[in-house]
Amino acid sequence: MTKEDIERMVSEGETLTIEFKKCQYELSDSVFESVCAFLNRIGGHILLGITDSGEILGINESAIDSLLKNFANTVNNPQQLNPTSYFSPEIIDVDGTMVISIYIPESSQVHRYKNRIYDRIGDADNDITLNHSLIDNLYLRKRNEFTENEVCPFLTMEDLSSTTFDKARHLAAVSNPSHPWLSLSNEEILHSAGFWRKDRATGKEGYILACALLFGTEVTILTYCPAYRTDAIYRNMGYQHFLHPKSTDPDIRYDDRDDIRVNLIEAYMRLTGFVQKHLPDRFMLDEAGIQRIDIRNKIFREIIANLLAHREYSSSFPAKLLIFSDIVVTENWTKPQQTGLVTLANLETHPKNPMIAKIFRELGWVEELGSGRKNIQKYAPLYFPNYKVEIQNQEKFVLSISYSKLDSDSTLQDKPDQNYEKPLTQQRLQYNSEIEALYKALGSKLGLSLDQVWSKSALSQHQVGTKSALSWRHVENLLKFMESSRAIIELMEFFGWSDRTKFRDKFVNPLLEYGIIKMTIPDKPQSSKQQYYLSEKGKAFLTDLLNRKNSL
């Protein structure tokens, strides 16, 4: 959420999905009535520090901490909001005035605040507790729209993967070191997130299908959703070439494939790995010119999350991620909410499985409804110049991003933005010339020869800090460690060095000189925030180093 987003909402005024609250010093009951109403309807944004007429007064800065603490305590108290829920308020600076933005997603459950049921009708929060007709419609709407709500009375904790819970805690802690899950047991996480449910129509009580899909073992997935499957396929050819093969083409169905039948958290990580394996990584610097932004991750993180979170799990149609040399296609079965011509600009964001989407949001895989669309619009031109997005929103939802002529099998030949590195295929790093020259030049600088690569006399990692000479094994360990950005103190600790100057002269400077590694802040080499990362040239060098090792 940005200052511009706040100003745009204020200009629109209060709507079905936007609510203003003055709340300069403390929270009123009306804030939580709106939370309840948004959960029961289609979600929306609550902006604190803004009057009903749209005047931005802001929150008193001395009251911000107590406001946020009070909000968190109330929405996590089942005596107040039932079922409870998690939200992540944002503090936005609007020309020196602090506004708190709270995004409330649509829920697949019916929520009560202080034992009253609220629904959002127009721009108002309506108490429908005594209107049995509206309550029946609300339950019917939730039950009919969300397959994930199906109660599974025989699903137990033994059917769920404890390893997946551990991974979920770790992922949640990355974005929020004080995340509530860190102090909760597996069962408490499920209950606090609303996965235990009683079906009002049948009287059945138990964990819902979303619980099995997110945390279930492979046997559990097969039991409760036997047709569930996600197919990731890579074909090293153009899409049109695949559709219209030549008679002389070899009979190859695919170059790589991952048949995924695990729970959704594990599936997300495998799909992300598949994308990283077959699509080049590209980076750009943020507006401050300090932090690197992984463009590929920005685009595909939410594409993958949407592929899993917005599919209809009652259908036997498998979700698909298809990667060709000139197009990426995702397919999943859904219940369409929008008809007619659909583009990124007019695509309506409607959660098909809010409970699953909520957990993905806690893990940092999605931000809010519409963020995936915004990220594609923002970053796709940098990753795929001349890209084209096509959407088919019928029972089968299809999203495709093409990035070169469809009648060509050529690799990407674009002119990338100056703020990100060319991928390996762009650099055309030649094995027989540039790689050999790099070995010779770097080896000369480090006192190593090419015939020493992986010799038995090479030093082990723990010897690095005690010997005056380097080995190629040291180089390999260092380059592997720098596949993620690292501060120099991290590198020193990794190798057990204490002398920064000697470490920089022996390790860092030679690798910088030959372009093996790069600085995140090249204009300020002495910056305290400086980090180093493996360049595309370095990745090619590391790959060759490992190939030579494996060939011995």
- How many percent of the chain have pLDDT more than 90? 26
The answer, yes or no, to whether residue 413 has pLDDT greater than 80, is: no
Residues 177 and 126 both lie in one domain: no
Whole-number Å distance between alpha carbons of 83 and 101: 22
Distance of alpha carbon 430 from alpha carbon 537, whole angstroms:
11
The pLDDT of residue 442 = 77
| pLDDT tens for each residue of 503-535 | 888 888 888 888 888 888 887 777 777 888 888
Class of residue 223 by CB neighbours under 10 A (exposed 0-12, middle 13-18, buried 19+): middle
pLDDT at 308 over 70: yes
Average pLDDT over residues 343-352: 60
What confidence score (pLDDT) does residue 371 get?
A: 59
Final residue before a domain boundary, out of 92, 107, 142: 142
- 3-class SS of residue 212: helix
Residue found under tokens 């120099």: 488
- Does residue 465 share a domain with residue 357? no
What domain range is 420 assigned to? 228-424
Mean pLDDT of 12-26: 90
Please tell me the distance from the alpha carbon of residue 289 to that of residue 488, in angstroms, as a whole number: 19
Mean pLDDT for the stretch of residues 412-428: 38
Q: Same domain, yes or no, for 255 and 351?
A: yes
The CATH number of residue 369's host domain is 3.30.565.60
Which of the given ranges, 144-153, 281-290, 416-425, has the highest pLDDT on average? 144-153
Q: How confident is the model at residue 288 (pLDDT cuts 50, 70, 90)?
A: low
Reduced to 3 states (helix: H, G, I; strand: E, B; else coil), residue 182 is: helix
Let me know whether 232 and 222 are in one domain.
no
pLDDT at 431 over 60: no
**Is pLDDT at 372 greater than 80 in this prediction?**
no
Residue 423: cis peptide before it, omega within 30 degrees of 0: no
Nearest Cα to 76, choosing from 35, 37, 43, 109? Answer: 35
Domain stops at, among 391, 424, 457: 424
Q: What is the pLDDT of residue 496?
A: 75
- Shared domain for 420 and 443, answered yes or no, is no
The model's confidence at residue 30, banded by pLDDT at 50, 70 and 90, is: very high
Residues 361 and 295 in one domain: yes
Strand partners, 104: 44
DSSP 183: G
Q: How confident is the model at residue 146 (pLDDT cuts 50, 70, 90)?
A: low
Is the confidence at residue 367, as pLDDT, over 80? no
Q: What is the pLDDT of residue 418?
A: 39
pLDDT at 423 over 50: no
| Higher-scoring residue by pLDDT: 383, 55 | 55
Return all residues near 78 (Cβ < 8 A) that are at least 6 apart.
84
Whether residue 334 sits in one domain with residue 458: no
Which tens digits make up the pLDDT trace of 107-120?
878 899 999 999 99
Question: What pLDDT sits at residue 35?
Answer: 94
Statement: residue 187 has pLDDT above 90: yes
Per-residue pLDDT, 540: 79
Whose CA is closest to 296, among 257, 323, 318, 264? Answer: 323
pLDDT exceeds 60 at position 96: yes
CATH number, domain with residue 42: 3.30.950.30
Beta bridge partner(s), residue 20: 47
| Same domain assignment for residues 160 and 109 | no
Count of structural domains, the chain: 4
Long-range contacts, 371-376 (Cβ 8 Å, 24+): 371/302, 372/302, 372/303, 372/305, 372/306, 373/344, 373/347, 373/349, 375/298, 375/299, 375/301, 375/302, 376/299, 376/303, 376/344, 376/401
Q: What pLDDT is stored for residue 346 in this prediction?
A: 54
* pLDDT value of position 464: 40
536 pLDDT exceeds 50? Answer: yes
Cβ neighbours for 254, distance < 8 A, ≥ 6 positions apart: 233, 234, 235
**Is 274 found in the same domain as 134?**
no
Q: Which of 199, 226, 253 is the last residue of a domain?
A: 226
pLDDT (0 to 100) of residue 37: 94
Residues 239 and 349 in one domain: yes
CATH number at residue 531: 1.10.10.10
Same-domain status, 54 and 157: no
**Ramachandran angles phi, psi of 291, nearest 5°:** -95, 140
The sheet that has 396-402: what strands, in order across it?
A: 256-260, 230-234, 319-323, 327-333, 396-402, 388-393
The structure's pTM equals 0.54
Least confident of 37-46, 397-406, 446-455: 446-455
Instruction: State the pLDDT at residue 345.
Output: 59
- pLDDT tens-digit readout, 437-493: 777 777 777 777 655 554 444 434 333 443 444 677 778 888 888 887 888 888 887
Q: Round to whole Å and give the CA distance between 57 and 48.
A: 9
pLDDT at 456: 40
What is the predicted pLDDT for the residue at 159?
Answer: 96
Indicate if 395 and 273 belong to the same structural domain: yes
Strand partners, 15: 18
Residue type, 304: I
Over residues 266-279, the pLDDT tens digits come to 999 999 999 988 88
In 395-494 the beta strands, taken as DSSP E runs, fall at 396-402
User: In the prediction, which pLDDT does 370 show?
Assistant: 52
**Residue 409 confidence class, pLDDT cut points 50, 70, 90:** very low
Largest CA distance in the chain: 84
